[in-house]
């Protein structure tokens, strides 16, 4: 299959919509990461997503919508809290898990009786949803397990020849995937941290709890409330360690055949090869550059990479959550 590289102007968006209406797959930019979109009502189109990504069948997809009317078509028993969250955080990087209607094929939800829904703010994504007139199931547009794509080129590296088209938009602003909460349970639970922070969510959902898988590895046999969170994920090919604590520079400088992923503030003190992924003072920059750093590190050809962990607050919680998975839960506490 030849993957079309579409310019995200009206022509490109119209072509993308035609492909989607005909049951094809198109990678689209969103404010979080690039998504691999297909018609959420079309079982055959959804299967193409799983095949292109090599995604395990038990990992459900997020359905992207552009208006509240579609929410009523795909979800049922919607609690008042969902409307409060929508009012405050949509369009934006928040995904809400709700009870599913029969209009959504069970493969979208990996057989669960719930559906994950999000209304993106990215103008290109919104136009594709609106013009196609379809809710779009769209997981991250990467090969399953590899770092999520924050540029159109990341998508091409992973999926060229495996999908119908890519809308070649800008780099993603948030840089990590959406926050996922479930409102299908009471109290609400944070399943995956992301662009909307736990602190922001507590203003609307004061009783929200945090699923154990956000910050720790599940024990053998434990079931994951958010199936995607049980996997080793986002991982470079280089053996990866996450390092928590103050004396990061001193620690990594003693390592042989290793590279560091570090903060701007400490980079001058690090004598081994390094990639700066942002400033510890502005964790938003860490989120923006995280996945690019995880991809770039393999080009350096070292045996090991040591990554300095951010604070676990604000968007730092989302960065930490991705990093423990990238490191397959190998965390070193200094």
Name the minimum Å distance from CB 148 to Mg ion. Answer: 5
Asked if residue 212 lies in contact with residue 277, where contact means CB atoms within 8 angstroms, the answer is: no
Which 122-181 positions form the footprint of Mg ion (CB under 5 A)? 140
Name the minimum Å distance from CB 296 to Mg ion. Answer: 19
Which of Mg ion, ligand AMP, none has residue 226 at its interface (CB below 5 to 8 Å by kind)?
ligand AMP
Residue 321 in contact with Mg ion, rule: CB under 5 A: no
Asked if residue 28 lies in contact with residue 138, where contact means CB atoms within 8 angstroms, the answer is: yes
Which of ligand AMP, Mg ion, none has residue 28 at its interface (CB below 5 to 8 Å by kind)?
none
**Closest Cα to residue 139, out of 236, 8, 25?**
25
Residue closer to ligand AMP (CB basis): 27 or 243:
27
Please write down the HEC assignment for all residues of 48-102: HHHHHHCCCCCCCCEEECCCHHHHHHHEECCCHHHHHHHHHHCCCCEEEEEEECC
Residue closer to ligand AMP (CB basis): 179 or 285:
179
By three-state DSSP, how is residue 266 classified? helix
Helix 152-159 and helix 283-296: axis angle, to 10°?
A: 30
Binding site for ligand AMP (CB under 6 A): 59-62, 97, 109, 112, 114-116, 139-140, 177, 180, 191-192, 226-229
Residue closer to ligand AMP (CB basis): 116 or 302:
116
Residue closer to ligand AMP (CB basis): 59 or 240:
59
Name the minimum Å distance from CB 213 to ligand AMP. Answer: 9
Which of Mg ion, ligand AMP, none has residue 92 at its interface (CB below 5 to 8 Å by kind)?
none
Name the minimum Å distance from CB 142 to ligand AMP. Answer: 8
**Nearest residue to ligand AMP on Cβ basis:** 228
Name the minimum Å distance from CB 192 to ligand AMP. Answer: 5
Separation of alpha carbons 307 and 119, rounded Å: 32
CA Rg value for the chain: 19
Residue closer to ligand AMP (CB basis): 37 or 293:
37
Residue closer to ligand AMP (CB basis): 151 or 266:
151
- CB under 8 Å to 334, separation ≥6 — which residues? 243, 244, 245, 246, 247, 248, 251
**Closest Cα to residue 115, out of 145, 69, 73, 80?**
73
The span from the first CA to the last CA of the chain, in angstroms, equals: 49
Name the minimum Å distance from CB 32 to Mg ion. Answer: 10
Residue closer to ligand AMP (CB basis): 302 or 319:
319
Residue closer to ligand AMP (CB basis): 82 or 249:
82
Name the minimum Å distance from CB 118 to ligand AMP. Answer: 9
Name the minimum Å distance from CB 296 to ligand AMP. Answer: 21
**Closest Cα to residue 129, out of 10, 253, 16, 279?**
16
Asked if residue 29 lies in contact with residue 128, where contact means CB atoms within 8 angstroms, the answer is: no
Positions touching Mg ion (CB under 5 A) are 140
């Amino acid at each position: 299959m030849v993957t079309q590289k579409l310019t995200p102007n009206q022509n490109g968006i119209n072509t993308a919509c035609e492909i989607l209406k005909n049951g094809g797959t198109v990678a689209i930019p969103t404010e979080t990461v690039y998504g691999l979109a297909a018609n959420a009502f079309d079982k055959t189109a959804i299967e193409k997503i799983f095949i292109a990504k090599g995604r395990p069948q038990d990992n459900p997809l997020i359905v992207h919508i552009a208006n509240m009317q579609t929410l009523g078509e795909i979800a049922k028993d919607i609690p008042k809290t969902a409307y409060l969250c929508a009012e405050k955080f949509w369009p934006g990087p928040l995904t809400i898990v709700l009870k599913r209607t029969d209009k959504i094929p069970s493969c979208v939800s990996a057989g669960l009786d719930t559906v994950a829904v999000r209304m993106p703010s990215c103008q290109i994504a919104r136009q594709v949803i609106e013009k196609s007139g379809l809710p779009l199931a769209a997981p991250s547009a990467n090969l399953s397990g590899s770092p999520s794509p924050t540029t159109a080129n990341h998508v091409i590296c992973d999926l060229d020849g495996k999908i119908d088209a890519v809308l070649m938009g800008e780099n993603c602003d948030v840089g990590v995937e959406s926050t996922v909460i479930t409102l299908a349970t009471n109290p609400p639970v944070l399943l995956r941290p992301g662009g909307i922070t736990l602190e922001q969510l507590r203003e609307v959902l004061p009783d929200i709890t945090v699923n154990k898988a956000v910050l720790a590895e599940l024990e053998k046999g434990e079931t994951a409330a958010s199936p995607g969170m049980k996997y080793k994920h986002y991982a470079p090919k280089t053996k990866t360690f996450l390092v928590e604590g103050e004396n990061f520079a001193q620690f990594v400088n003693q390592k042989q055949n290793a590279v560091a992923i570090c903060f701007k503030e400490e980079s001058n003190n690090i004598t081994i090869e390094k990639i700066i992924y942002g400033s510890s003072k502005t964790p938003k920059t860490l989120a923006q550059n995280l996945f690019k750093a995880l991809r770039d590190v393999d080009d350096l050809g070292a045996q090991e990479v040591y990554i300095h962990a951010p604070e676990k607050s604000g968007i730092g919680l989302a960065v930490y959550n991705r990093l423990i998975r990238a490191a397959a839960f190998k965390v070193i506490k200094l």
